[in-house]
Amino acid sequence: MTRADRAEELFRQGYNCSQSVFAAFADAAGLTVEEAARIASPFGAGFGKLREVCGAVSGMTLLAGYLQGYSDPADFGSKKELYALIQKMCAEFERKEGTIICRELLGLKKGEDLAEPAERTEEYYRTRPCIGACRTAAETAEKYLMQQPAPAGDGK
């Protein structure tokens, strides 16, 4: 099973988009699926259903920070490398999906949506771009994070 397959499987189990992507790599981060899901939980639906940055993108970037982030605030080299990596990953996601903004992926206007999480039905899965976004984010994360060494500095 690929990481993209795992992200889709997790999304179909009911995890949000951010949880699905981050938890698809839980083993690589040394976490359980439950731990990864808890960490990524507030980022679903574009930050708690605000429909801002896509949760799948948030899960992807959270993973980048977890695996290759820096902790020394004076380590400008690692900061620069990480930001460049995030920009590449987000640009690739945007090329494939059209945007990194949740509401744009869903075709919504700002503030247009229900306050409650949507019920997961076959219609939901059929009409939403979320599974594709989760797959794209997981594929992008695997491409950029799982096949290169950590950056210089205090990265993991």
**pLDDT at residue 143 above 50?**
yes
DSSP string of 111-155, one letter each residue: T-S-SSPPP--HHHHHH-SHHHHHHHHHHHHHHHHSSSPPPSSS-
Q: Is residue 18 part of a domain?
A: yes
- Please report the pLDDT score of residue 23 as a whole number: 98
Compare 148 and 70 and report the one with higher pLDDT.
Answer: 70
Lowest-confidence pick of 32-36, 106-110, 116-120, 143-147: 116-120
C-alpha to C-alpha distance for 149 and 156, rounded to whole angstroms: 9
**Which residue, among 35, 30, 39, 19, has the nearest Cα to 67 in the 3D structure?**
30
With a CB cutoff of 8 Å and minimum separation 6, the contacts of 104 are 98
- Please report the pLDDT score of residue 62 as a whole number: 98
- Please report the pLDDT score of residue 114 as a whole number: 65
Q: Is residue 56 part of a domain?
A: yes
What backbone torsions phi and psi does residue 22 show, to the nearest 5 degrees? -60, -45
**pLDDT at residue 156 above 60?**
no
Q: Is residue 156 part of a domain?
A: no
C-alpha to C-alpha distance for 87 and 39, rounded to whole angstroms: 22
C-alpha to C-alpha distance for 44 and 137, rounded to whole angstroms: 13
C-alpha to C-alpha distance for 142 and 156, rounded to whole angstroms: 16
Q: How many domains does the chain have?
A: 1
pLDDT digits over 50-61, tens only?
999 999 999 999
The parent domain of residue 8 ranges over 3-145
Q: Is residue 155 part of a domain?
A: no
C-alpha to C-alpha distance for 141 and 3, rounded to whole angstroms: 9
Percentage of the chain with pLDDT > 70?
93
Q: Is residue 135 part of a domain?
A: yes
| Mean pLDDT (whole number) for 136-156 | 73
Q: Is residue 154 part of a domain?
A: no
| Mean pLDDT (whole number) for 9-38 | 97
Task: Give the global pTM.
Answer: 0.91
Q: Is residue 151 part of a domain?
A: no
**pLDDT at residue 150 above 60?**
no
